[in-house]
Amino acid sequence: MGGTRDERSNTAANNLHACRPCHDAVESQPARAYANGWKIRHGVQDPTQVPARHVRFGWVLLALDGSWTPVELAECGAHPSSAACPDCTACKRCGPCGCELVAGWQQRTPA
């Protein structure tokens, strides 16, 4: 039998309620489920920091106490806007933002 000792696995932030057809869709379409925050990779991500797409409320962050808060996403569509560069709005978690790329390009360009 499988299992985990990770205390986060049984928290409200790590468990979504779904009807049978939605549950079946999540299980049969894992790429879509990961992209929408309906599934997260075990032990890799903190469930309280993974936005989930809610059918009525849009993107939300789930809390350990069962509450949720709406969240705006960065340009990448996968991380909260708090991960975005304030100047170019690109997601800094997905790689270098536009500002960093321009700065790097300027550093390598001869004067």
Q: pLDDT tens across 36-95, in order? A: 889 888 776 788 888 888 888 888 988 989 899 998 877 777 777 777 777 777 777 777
pLDDT at 25: 92
Q: How far apart are CA 34 and CA 101, in angstroms?
A: 28
Q: Which two tokens stand for residue 9?
A: 């696995």
SS3 content of the chain, % helix, strand, coil (to 5): 35, 15, 50
Our separate counts of H helices and E strands in the chain read 3, 3
Could you report the per-residue pLDDT of 19-33, keeping only the tens digit for each? 999 999 999 999 999
Q: What is the pTM of this model?
A: 0.63
List C-alpha distances in Å: 31 to 13, 80, 107, 110: 20, 19, 38, 44
Q: Does 108 score more than 70 pLDDT?
A: no
pLDDT at 14: 82
